[in-house]
């Protein structure tokens, strides 16, 4: 069948053309030739505002404390928050053939669109294909040298960027982040089903903003209602990797660019789940 007559709908076509014979591996992009990457972990959510970037930062810090070299690819192009959490400002460097990620105080490597802009306050008003392409370049053009775990902070939902990441980057597993609200099951189902469609392993689920602890009596107050995490996790056969509270100190430290000073005790189980992934190298 010629390209001109192709309707791009394989489900209703009986032709045996070349595009049908492509395997998922055919869409994968090669990392920069100077990169040395162990495992790639996506941090995803079905909706925005659940603290996905916070969980990404926490996992990268915790793995670093375990003696691993970690990096963060900030794929949330229109809402990048990773650089601020680590106190990173200014533009990253390059040599014409490659881009070199910024380094945090403790040596974590970070790439984000905010580190490419002349003014980090400038909004990124781009269409989907352009956003997806810059994320792909964060994989192909950035030198991720000696990185044991590369965390990909995804934008919320199941649009262009998550699809690009799953098709272009060999993701070893994902962590789903959610919040304790009634609609959580429906939101989680979208992330779960997309992961299954793309044949990406799900390491487990983290609930953020689970409660706030009273500073006087220590009682846990469920600001957003009772958690449905165990029920949701059981429905989809997922591991519960942590319940993260609303913590004023965490918010203050992240706003001040001091995320690396936080202990993140609630996510140690999630960090161990990431660390248990069989080793490979790309």
Q: What is the pLDDT of residues 80-115, one digit of tens each?
A: 999 999 999 888 988 888 999 999 999 999 999 999
- Per-residue model confidence (pLDDT) at position 282: 59
Calculate mean pLDDT across residues 29-42. 95
Q: What does pLDDT average to over the chain?
A: 88
| Least trusted range by pLDDT, from 73-77, 227-231, 261-265 | 227-231
Domains identified in the chain and CATH numbers? 32-275 (3.40.50.300)
| pLDDT tens track for 190-212 | 889 999 999 999 999 999 999 99
CA dist., res. 38 & res. 25, Å (int): 18
| Between 8 and 147, residue with greater pLDDT | 147
CA dist., res. 186 & res. 221, Å (int): 24
Q: What percent of the chain has pLDDT over 70?
A: 89
Whether the predicted model's global pTM rises above the 0.85 cut:
yes
Output the DSSP codes for the chain: --GGG--S-GGG-----GGGG--GGGGPPPPPTT--EEEEEEEE-SSSSS-HHHHHHHHHHHHHHTT--EEEEE--TTS--HHHHTT--SPPEE-SS-EE-EE-TT--EEE-GGGTSSSTTS-----HHHHHHHHHHHHHTB--TTEEEEEEEPPSSSSHHHHHHHHHS---EEEEEE-SSTTHHHHHHHHHHHHHHTT--EEEEEE-S--EE-TTT-PEE-TT-S--HHHHHHHHTPPEEEE----HHHHHHHHTT-GGG---GGGHHHHHHHHTSPP---
- Per-residue model confidence (pLDDT) at position 46: 82
Q: Is the pLDDT of residue 274 over 70?
A: yes
Calculate mean pLDDT across residues 247-258. 96
């Amino acid at each position: 069948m010629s390209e001109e007559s192709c309707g791009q709908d394989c489900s209703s076509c009986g032709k045996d053309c070349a595009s049908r014979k492509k395997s998922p591996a055919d869409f994968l992009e090669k990392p920069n030739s100077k990169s040395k990457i162990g495992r790639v972990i996506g941090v995803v959510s079905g909706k925005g505002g659940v603290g996905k970037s916070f969980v990404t930062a926490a996992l990268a810090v915790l793995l670093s404390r375990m003696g691993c070299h970690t990096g963060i690819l900030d794929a949330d192009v229109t809402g990048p928050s990773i650089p601020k959490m680590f106190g990173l400002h200014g533009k990253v460097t390059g040599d014409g053939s490659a881009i070199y990620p910024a380094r945090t105080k403790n040596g974590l490597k970070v790439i984000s669109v905010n580190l490419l802009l002349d003014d980090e306050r400038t909004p990124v008003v781009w269409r989907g294909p352009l956003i997806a392409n810059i994320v792909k370049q964060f994989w192909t053009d950035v030198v991720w040298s000696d990185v044991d775990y590369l965390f990909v902070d995804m934008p919320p939902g199941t649009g262009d960027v998550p699809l690009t990441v799953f098709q272009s980057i060999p993701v070893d597993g994902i962590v789903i982040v959610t919040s304790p609200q009634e609609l959580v099951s429906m939101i989680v189902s979208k992330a779960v089903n997309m992961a299954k469609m793309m044949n990406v392993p799900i390491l487990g689920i983290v609930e953020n903003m689970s409660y706030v602890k009273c500073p006087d009596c220590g009682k846990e107050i469920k600001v957003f209602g009772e958690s449905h995490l165990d029920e949701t996790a059981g429905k989809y056969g997922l591991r519960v990797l942590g319940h993260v509270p609303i913590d004023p100190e965490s918010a203050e430290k992240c706003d001040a660019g001091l995320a690396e000073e936080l202990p993140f005790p609630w996510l140690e189980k999630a960090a161990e789940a990431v660390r248990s992934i069989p080793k490979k190298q790309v």
